[in-house]
Structure 1
Amino acid sequence: MNADLQSGLPFLKMHGLGNDFVVLDARESVVLDAREGVVLDARARALPLTPAMITGIAHRHFGVGFDQLAVISEGVGDAHLTFYNADGSTSAACGNATRCIARLLMDQTGKTALHLTTDRGDLAVRDAGDGLTAVNMGQPQLDWAEIPLARAMDTLELPIEGAPVATGMGNPHCTFFVDDLSAVDLPSFGAAHEHHPLFPQRTNVQLVQVIGADHLRMRVWERGVGVTLASGSSSCAVAVAAARRGLTGRSVRIDLDGGTLDVDWRDDGVWMTGPTMHVASGVLTHAFLESLR
């Protein structure tokens, strides 16, 4: 391990509706949390984020635990964000982590609007008031090749039992509309469909029930993670799928296991608004990091 990490590696624990994250800041000489006095300098850039390192930190008994790990680095805009799933794989998009980090950066800088970059592309973020943060997750990908799917087909009704909708939000999504969420065993259902051969990069899986006018109830299985209490990109994909099916308008409220998000599919992209929480600031010890080599 690089000598710069002898004193450990600072991190933040954050969540959006129970969709939880470990955040590492790889920008140079920045304060992670002025109130806690946690300063990073550039040590995160010395960290070899191998799959073993990521899965070790992700372990909820032997590590910290998270659905996704996010790294903040310097970018063209206010910052660049890189995301990793709990199994060590990468993800181009993570809406709730984006909102959490945006709230951190707005608190640090006093800004009420940010320009962030991700592997998904450029994302606009703004303070929505009342402690809420809104992010524009960009235009949905509706063509089979962009999602991507294994072959050309109608993405509004896939040739899978249940006729789900496929949507790309920088990562692939497979949305099933059902009459009764409680009648479906999400762990087994999600695990089976994550690896469906129509999705060469695997897929996030959503089960959705229409509750009322522009009101949905959703449960989600995230690829590389499993069942999660919430998912921002999944919520965006579900809102798009419901609007395309004619089940709702383009602005919806979505109830997840961890709380509620508002999603609005506008001309400039899919905006998602909800709360965030900074749970703790801590330090990954040198001994722990060494154990993951």
Structure 2
Amino acid sequence: MVLPFSKMHGSGNDFVVIDSRGGALVLSAATIRAMADRHTGIGFDQLLSVEPARDGASVFYYGIWNADGSPSGQCGNGVRCVAAWLHRAGALPLGKTVQIQSPSGPVAVRLVDAHHVMVDMGEPIFDPARIPFDAPHASARYILEVDGQTLEIGAASMGNPHAVVVVDDLSAPALARLGPALTGHSRFREGANTDFVQKLSPRHVRLRVHERGSGWTLACGTGACAAMAVLRQRGEVEVQVQVDLPGGNLQIDWVGPGEHLWMTGPASFVFEGEWLDWQAGD
């Protein structure tokens, strides 16, 4: 049997998108890992499935799996690719805001054009219990011991947990070890995406992200949102911020508490293919 797929990317964060509108996708973690392998498989940061909606208010549902086969609750670059994929399939119109359902809940999307999507990412979560992050109360800054080094971090959730660290130099060698160490830190009991952010101005930052389950990626949409939200919480950036990632740029808009955060960015098709020797539930 063969499994058709679309290879896509959002600012370099790459995905395999599978049409499962006929029913929920069932794949083993081992199969997902094999597909994600960049030498012997297709290669991707996350796998996305487009499935029937699971509530009456959404038009579709999408599932998310990391390259190691583990499930994920949200993916900002991924939802843009899902929206662009649905538009190409004739299922989403341009210029109209519609709701699709993620594993973390509903998300509103609006296609600016066939390859650019605005996404309502909801309101950032700073409550430690909801991130989840081990802390007695919410704060804009926390002190952690990470791999023998003391770091000041911000913690937030955008449907998945994030640790945000402000740095002066994104190419500093220490980040190579601090990224994985912070991702697996014990105070993030479900792990975290680690976002290293360099401030260029109140409207412009650079970002490098180590994602739980996928490692270093060229872009992370929820990471861009979390980094902007933490800096906005501290009063260090303005309402609209350009976030430069290794794979491209995103625009993040957030007024502040009580308001939803919006992300705007590209979604690109790369190629169509088929995964061979696949069986449902393998």
Q: What CA distance in whole angstroms lies between the structure 2 residues aligned with 1:119 and 1:48? A: 15
Q: Does 1:135 align with 2:119?
A: yes
Gapped regions of structure 2 (runs ≥ 5): 145-149
**Contact persistence 2:126–2:138 (CA under 8 A):** no
- 1:196 is aligned, of 173, 185, 195, to 185
Q: 1:83 aligns with which of 49, 64, 70?
A: 64
The letter of the residue matching 2:183 is E
Cα distance in 2 between the residues matched to 1:98 and 1:187: 28
**2:200 is aligned with 1:222:** no
Letter of the structure 1 residue corresponding to residue 225 of structure 2: C
Q: 1:105 aligns with which of 86, 98, 101?
A: 86
Change (3 A) 1:52 1:155: farther
Q: Structure 2 CA distance, aligned partners of 1:92 and 1:173?
A: 12
Structure 2 residue matching 1:252: 3-state secondary structure: strand
2:280 corresponds to 1:280: no
Tell me which residue corresponds to 1:149. 133
Residues 242-261 of structure 1 show CA distances to partners (whole Å, capped at 9, x for unaligned) of 10112101311000001100
- Given the alignment, which residue of 24, 29, 41 partners 1:63? 41
Identity of aligned residues (%): 39
How many corresponding residue pairs? 268
Distance 2:114 2:200 in 1: 25
Report Cα offsets for 1:33-78 as digits up to 9, x if no partner. xxxxxxxxx6xx5x64111111111111111111001111000322
Q: TM-score, normalised by structure 1?
A: 0.87
Partner Cα distance (1:58, 1:248) in 2: 36
Q: Distance in 2 between matches of 1:11 and 1:158?
A: 42
Q: What letter corresponds to residue 39 of structure 2 in structure 1?
A: H
Q: 2:159 aligns with which of 145, 170, 174?
A: 170
1:237 equivalent to 2:231? Answer no
Q: Deviations over 1:116-146 (max 9, x none)?
A: 0112211110022484211011111110101
Deviations 1:157-210 (A, max 9, x none): 112122110001111000000122222443311111111111000000011111
User: What is the DSSP-based 3-state SS (H/G/I as helix, E as strand, rest coil) of the residue aligned with 1:55?
Assistant: helix
**Structure 1 portions without partners, runs of 5+:** 1-5, 29-41
In 1, distance between residues paired with 2:84 and 2:251? 17
The whole-number CA distance in structure 2 between the counterparts of 1:131 and 1:57 is 25
Cα deviation, 1:245-282, whole Å, max 9, x if unaligned, reads: 12101311000001100001145411110111011111
Letter in 1 for 2:266: P
**Cα distance between partner residues in 1 of 2:76 and 2:8:** 13
Q: Cα offset for 1:285?
A: 1.1
Q: Residue type of the partner of 2:233?
A: R
Contact 2:115 2:268 in 1 (8 A): no
Give the partner amino acid of 1:23: V
Question: Is the 8 Å Cα contact of residues 187 and 221 (structure 1) preserved in structure 2?
Answer: no
Distance 1:93 1:181 in 2: 25
2:172 to 180, 183, 192: 183
Residues 109/154 of structure 1: CA separation in 2 closer, same or farther (3 Å cut): closer
When you count helix as a share of all residues, which structure comes out higher?
A: 1
Aligned residue for 2:227, secondary structure, equals: helix
